[in-house]
Amino acid sequence: MKEIFQEFGTAIIAIITSILVIGILFGVCISSKQGILEIAGIPLNKTEINYSSYSDFDSVITWHKRTKPEAAYITSKGRFFESENVDFLERYYAKDMEGVIYPMDDVIIKKMFPDIMFGKVLDIRRADGTSIISSYSKTDGVIYFPSAGIYEVYFQIRDKENLTSIWKIPIAADERRGQ
Mean pLDDT over residues 139-162, rounded?
90
CB of 74 within 8 A of CB of 93?
Answer: yes
Average pLDDT, the chain: 82
Please answer whether residues 73 and 173 qualify as being in contact, where contact means their C-beta atoms are separated by less than 8 angstroms.
no
Instruction: Compute how many other C-beta atoms are within 10 angstroms of the C-beta atom of residue 124.
Output: 20
**Out of 55-59, 85-89, 131-135, 145-149, which region has the weakest mean confidence (pLDDT)?**
55-59
**DSSP label of 129:** S
Estimate to the nearest angstrom the gap between the alpha carbon of 71 and the chain centroid: 18
Does CATH number 3.90.320 belong to domain 67-174? no
The CATH 2.60.40 domain(s) of the chain lie at: 67-174
* pTM: predicted TM-score of the whole model, two decimal places: 0.61
Q: Distance between CA atoms of 124 and 137, rounded to whole angstroms?
A: 12
pLDDT tens-place string over residues 38-86: 666 666 566 777 766 666 777 777 777 778 899 988 888 778 888 888 8
